Structures are given as structure tokens and as C-alpha cells.
Amino acid sequence: MRKVWRAVLDAVTPYEAGKPLADLAAELGLPDLVRLSANENPLGPSPRVVAAIAREATRVHLYPDGSARALREALGRRLGVGPEQLIAGNGADELLGLLALAAFERSDEVVVPQPSFEPYATSVTLAAARVVASPLAGYETDLDDVRRKVTDRTKAVILCSPHNPAGTIIRRPPLVKFLESLGADPPLVVLDEAYCDFADDPEYPDGVALLRRHPRLIILRTFSKIAALAGLRVGYAVATTDTCDRLNRVRAPYNVNRLGQVAALAALEDPEHRDKTRRLVLEERAFLSEGLRKRGYTFPPSQANFLLVKVPDAVALRDKLLRAGLLVRDGADVGFPGHLRISVGLRETNEKLLGVL
Ligand SMILES: Cc1ncc(COP(=O)(O)O)c(C=O)c1O
């Protein structure tokens, strides 16, 4: 029998994102169902973004700028790097795939804290490389353990800060110590900062600033969270010119669509909306945390736009919340059985959630 599919696919299950929200709401007869399971932006996009998308809509018959030049230039100005140090992706997700395609070979080892954002391990497995799991210490990334697992066979380390799903961060001193400990010929170190805009710990490091001294770093960021563009799929990597050149060689010609590019640009030009989102998430995160604490729940202090809450019966509580019109994530789906991962919502939603609890 002809073997047409790659053997590694047997080890991969399709990513289960759940039913479309509208379908689930219709099925449950809950038209006002609020999704708190995907760490989306509760405020929605800036009106300037909406206007930019509307303007661009008449031009969707034209291919986008394949290199996303205007977006990279604007981002570069903001981050203090050149446009050649940036590559845009169809979500940060795509950049993980590009990295795997560009760097991972059969039997390479990639150290990944476990649990963490599921697509890391999937991209490694798809490349026929090997995931070397480094268990979290409770809810924290254990950099000592990660370091111990780095060998000559290690192609990359994939770190996430703020961590999904734990919500914890890697502070500057241990991160710098870890990077220094890797020596002069380190593996690639991916630092996924998808939720960086919600961190307010003074020791939260600026990954981009570390690039100068650590050229094998790849910083991943996204417009999905802070800019509320999850539905348009725009992410980016900040790295050295050489790394970006390598990633560009495996990128599809028009990977970021026209609407996504103008929306991301408009979002960059609306710092007020960005500040409003950050303020809202930080305030509501504190409100939710306080309310949960008062009700006896425990959870790691979050630096992201979600909380990972320990609960006695996650399945039953998730069902109860769903019946009340609030969709949250069962921690078992993201490596934390006995927990619920709950995105921070608007005040009214958070009050409702606390009411049910
Ligand atoms: C840690 C982490 N990295 C990356 C992503 C993907 O971001 P994007 O929507 O840009 O693909 C997510 C999405 O939830 C995430 O949680």
C-alpha cells in the first residue's frame, strides 16, 4: 500500500478550538453567550481600525504587500529596530510554523516547558523533531530545569511569558542569567510575548532589548490580544536580520492579508485605544482576582488577560457557567486539570461570573 501521508501526522491531533461562538449560542439558546475561553480582547477593536478596514475593503481584489513593509516600518519605529529585523505572520501561530520549517530537522531537540501553548509542541512534532518537556514548577517556568535539558542536540528553546495558560512571567534576572548560561553558541530561544501588553510587574523584561546581546533570540508578538485583531490574524517576530532572512525563505508570498495589514497599522496609530484596553484589563483582572480570592479560590497572580483558577470540579463548574451564558476553558484541555482558564471580561461579565461562583 502506498504510504501517502507523513508518519508524524499520526502523533498530531487537529487543534480543537471549539465550536464557532454563534453556533454554540444558537444551540444552547443563549444569544448573549460571552466567550471567556480564548483570551480575546473584551473591548474590541479601535474605531480607527474599523474605519481603516472599511476603507481597504474595496481593494481586496489586489494582492497585499507580500513583505508587509509599511507595517514593519511602523513597528520598527515603535520598537527601535529596523524593518529588516521584523517579519509579519498570519498570526504569531504562523511564525511558529515558519520557524519549524526553517530550523527544525529530524531528531533535533526542542525544549518546551510543559504544559504550555499547545502549538509549540505541534510545530516541533510536525518537523519530526523531538519535544523535550520541562515541567513547570507549580505555575512557574523552571529555567533551571530548562537549562539542564539543553544539550548539543538542542535546536531551540520555546519560552512563553506571560505564560499561557498559567499567566505567570519569567522575570528579567533569571531570564538574563539563563540566556548568559547558554554561552557563545546557544540554541535559538523563542520568547513568546503574546500577552506582554498586560504585564505590569516592574521586573517583566523587554524581550526586544535583549536581542542586541542575544542574537539567537526570537521575540513573538501579536495584534490578536492588545489590538483586538484576533479575527484578522496578524502577528510578528522580532529577531536579527539573519534570522528574519531565514524565516522569509519559508514564508508564503502573501502571508498577511490586506485587511490585516491596514488594521494593524491603524492599531499602531491609536495608542489611546491601546492604553484603554490595557487599563481595562488590568483593572478588571484586579477586580476578578479580588472577587475570586474573597470566595476562597486560589490561582497564580496573572500578568495576562486571563486567570487560571483552581476549582474542585472543573467540568461541573464549566457547565454551570455555560448555562449562565459564560464560556470558559476547562484547564484539562490546556494541561491543568482541576482548573478553569477564564479570560478577563468587561465589568458586567466579571460581576456575572463572580455571581455564579
Ligand atoms: C501564548 C500564545 N502565543 C501565541 C498565540 C497566537 O497568537 P496569534 O493569534 O497571533 O496567532 C496565542 C494565542 O492565544 C497564545 O496564547
Mean pLDDT along residues 349-355: 98
CA of 194 to the centre of ligand 1 (A): 6
* Cell numbers given for 1: 500500500
Amino acid at 207: G
Query: Does ligand 1 have an atom closer than 6 angstroms to the CB of 116?
Result: no
Query: Which tens digit of pLDDT belongs to each residue from 216-262?
Result: 999 999 999 999 999 999 999 999 999 999 999 999 999 999 999 99
Query: Whose alpha carbon is nearest atom 7 of ligand 1?
Result: 92
CA of 226 to the centre of ligand 1 (A): 11
Domain ranges within the chain, ordered by starting residue: 7-44+272-356, 47-268
- Fold match between domain 7-44+272-356 and domain 47-268: no
Mean pLDDT along residues 15-40: 92
pTM, 2 dp:
0.97
47-268 maps to which CATH number? Answer: 3.40.640.10
Q: Are 250 and 102 in contact (CB under 8 A)?
A: yes
CA of 295 to the centre of ligand 1 (A): 30
Query: Does ligand 1 have an atom closer than 6 angstroms to the CB of 194?
Result: yes
CA of 7 to the centre of ligand 1 (A): 27
Rounded to the nearest angstrom, the gap between the alpha carbon of residue 14 and the centroid of all alpha carbons in its chain is: 18
Residue 242 phi/psi, 5-degree rounding, is -65, -45
pLDDT at 349: 98
Q: Residue 37: left (phi > 0), alpha (psi -120 to 50), or beta?
A: alpha
Mean pLDDT along residues 193-206: 98
pLDDT at 18: 83
Query: Does ligand 1 have an atom closer than 6 angstroms to the CB of 343?
Result: no
What band does 17 get if pLDDT is binned at 50, 70 and 90? confident
pLDDT at 217: 98
Q: Which of 161, 192, 343 to mutate to test the pocket of ligand 1 (most atoms within 8 A of CB)?
A: 192
Tell whether the model's pLDDT for residue 15 goes beyond 90. no
Nearest Cα to Cα of residue 195 among 173, 216, 178, 219: 219
Instruction: Give the domain 7-44+272-356 fold.
Output: Aspartate Aminotransferase, domain 1 (3.90.1150)
| Closest atom of ligand 1 to CA, residue 164 | 1
pLDDT at 54: 98
Query: Does ligand 1 have an atom closer than 6 angstroms to the CB of 41?
Result: no
